[in-house]
Structure 1
Amino acid sequence: MQKEGEQDGKAASELIDARIKELGDWRGEMLARLRALIRQAAPEAVETWKWRGVPVWEDAGIICTGETYKAVVKLTFARGAALPDPKKLFNSSLEGNTRRAIDFKQGDQVDEAALKALVREAVALNRSKAKR
């Protein structure tokens, strides 16, 4: 029986490593950088692999997903609409009532401190909802 996040017996972290390597361009580099920042901000988060190939970071619920497209690497925060975003990182999926996303294009700078703060806020929100 496969564990959640596994595919063909491989752990989610291995699948994410393979995705980064497979991309082989700026998107792989960006995904690896974002992954490192998420891990720094939420060291207890668990990496999973869902929806046929989407890296997901979870702590008491989904923190965010890391999708790769031709022109962007998208971090979608599951409860982004409920998170404070003083640095205005969210620039995509702004119309919904729940999710918010950040699209990173080639050459974009990453505000590391603001992104880590956003991840920590997402974890805190998930944990507060889980306690209820």
Structure 2
Amino acid sequence: MKKAAAMKTSSPKDADGASASKLIDGRIKELGDWRGEMLGRIRALIKDADPDVVEEWKWRGVPVWEHDGIICTGETYKAVVKLTFAKGAALDDPAGLFNSSLDGNVRRAIDIREGEKINEKALKALIRAAVALNASKVKKKPAKTKA
């Protein structure tokens, strides 16, 4: 019987020794408003779309989700929760989720405002596409042959 994979977290810890997952938990709690709720919902969707995702805490307080490279970041501002895809410009977005950072050649973002609904199916598809793109860029090590 196959065992369900546990969500992976990075081994690096912040200066106080807290894990990335605990720091993200803290950010969600400290926001205490719709932004924390939205960040929590996005996080759950990311984990659902990719059970092998690794959570990181970078750049002095930005939640980052990785799998063979950065998938996306989750930043919170006064009026938006911004989900920035590191290689978003290379992803198909048939549902038109990307609505921010559209001018660059690499990143794309989704700005979510209070009261807006998330197209969960489309967001999960975008997450999976980002993971597949990252995996396609990973250099495979040559297989060892037995002598």
Give the TM-score category using the shorter length: over 0.9
Match of 1:118 among 126, 130, 133: 126
| Percent of aligned pairs with the same amino acid | 71
TM-score (norm 1): 0.96
Report matched runs for 1:15-94 at 5 Å. Answer: 15-94=23-102
Provide the rounded CA distance (Å) in 1 between the counterparts of 2:13 and 2:108: 23
With over 3 angstroms needed to count, the CA separation of the structure-2 counterparts of 1:23 and 1:127, relative to structure 1, is: same
Moved over 2 A (4+): 3-7
- Contact 1:5/1:50 (8 A) holds in 2: no
Structure 1: give runs of 5+ residues left out of the alignment: none
SS at match of 1:92: coil
Provide the rounded CA distance (Å) in 2 between the counterparts of 1:43 and 1:115: 15
Provide the rounded CA distance (Å) in 2 between the counterparts of 1:25 and 1:93: 25
TM-score (norm 2): 0.86
Provide the rounded CA distance (Å) in 2 between the counterparts of 1:100 and 1:117: 15
Structure 2: give runs of 5+ residues left out of the alignment: 1-10, 141-147
SS at match of 1:118: helix
Q: Alpha-carbon deviations, 1:15-68, whole Å to 9, x = none?
A: 000000000000000000000000000110100000000000000000000000
| Structure 2 residue aligned with 1:128 | 136
CA RMSD of aligned residues (A): 1.0
Count of paired positions: 130
User: Per residue, is there more helix in 1 or in 2?
Assistant: 1
Q: Amino acid of the residue matched to residue 102 of structure 2?
A: L
Q: Rg larger in 1 or in 2?
A: 2
Structure 1 residue 106: Cα displacement: 0.0
- Contact 1:60/1:127 (8 A) holds in 2: yes
SS at match of 2:118: coil
